[in-house]
Amino acid sequence: MVLHLGERPLVMGILNLTPDSFAETRSQLDPARAVAAALEMEAHGADLIDVGGESTRPGAEPLSARDELARVLPVFAGLVGRLRVPLSVDTYKADVALAALEAGASLVNDVSGLRYDPALARVVAERGAAVVLMHTRGRPKTMYSGAIYDDVVAEVGAELKASVAFAQEAGVAVERILVDPGIGFAKRAEHSYGVLARLSELAEALARPVVVGPSRKSFMRDALDARPAAERDWGTAAAVTAAVLAGAHIVRVHAVNEMVQVVKVAEEIRRHNVP
């Protein structure tokens, strides 16, 4: 499947197949339930669905490739031929990515920017897939120890450029590479807000399509009077609007039905901002 980037901002629906998602109160471990959730997101306007079998929230324990595949492959099997929009696999493991691409995924969403499993770059190149390279530092269990920046936008940009260069050296075509500044990953709240506030600057420096995933994340917690993650959709709407106005190509969200409306209005505002 082909994604047409730049015509309008696209909405990526999040399908977490984990028992420990930070943002959802119900498990999607049952494949039939997960398939139904994906089809519902498509009906609500999602442009692509991102399927993830391992939690990468701060403090999360790693999952084996075998266990991750046991979660995601039945869902791909249930969606291929029924879903009209592209499928993405949210993984940093080469083995999982290869199996998912063979099962029908067309995009790999790598939270590590190819830093956890360098073999993933070769898999993406050989399969002719697209890849989202996200910025982070360290592993989920210790990522906040790396949240030290003098200039968060300059440093995130430089580290993402290194990931893009690594992908190209492995044979990934540049037109198949997207970047994600990693809101909430190895970033304190002030860093996440700083990235959102200067997103257009970052996008210009990277010259690649930008994916932004602020949905329900903890950087909004203090501003929202410590509301739990599942109650942060209004805050997410503000962050999504900022991302769209700054030129984000894809926003990654949980509440697809609501955020599709937010994206449409934000894009109309952006289109009318004629210099």
pLDDT (tens, 9 = 90+) of the chain, 275 residues, equals: 677 888 999 999 999 998 865 555 455 678 999 999 999 999 999 999 999 999 887 777 889 999 999 999 999 999 999 999 999 999 999 999 999 999 999 999 999 999 999 999 999 999 999 999 999 999 988 889 999 999 999 999 999 999 999 999 999 999 999 999 999 999 999 999 999 999 999 999 999 999 999 999 999 999 999 999 999 999 999 999 999 999 999 999 999 999 999 999 999 999 998 76
Q: What is the pLDDT of residue 25?
A: 45
Residue 14, domain member (yes or no)? yes
Parent domain of 147: 10-271
Residue 1, domain member (yes or no)? no
Identity of the amino acid at 22? F
CB burial of 238-258 (b: ≥16 within 10 Å; e: otherwise) equals ebbbbbbbbbbbbbbbbbbeb
Residue 29, domain member (yes or no)? yes
Residue 130, domain member (yes or no)? yes
Active site residues: 217, 252
Q: What is the pLDDT of residue 23?
A: 53
Distance, CA of 134 to CA of 159 (rounded, Å):
10
Q: What is the pLDDT of residue 21?
A: 59
Q: How far is CA 32 from CA 36, 115, 174, in A?
A: 6, 33, 36
Q: What is the pLDDT of residue 20?
A: 61
Write the CATH number for 124: 3.20.20.20
249 conformational bin, left if phi > 0, alpha if psi -120 to 50, beta if neither: alpha
Residue 46, domain member (yes or no)? yes
Tokens of 88: 């993405």
Residue 120, domain member (yes or no)? yes
Q: What is the pLDDT of residue 171?
A: 98
Residue 5, domain member (yes or no)? no
Domain count, the chain: 1
Residue with tokens 């730049």: 6
pTM: 0.94
Residue 3, domain member (yes or no)? no
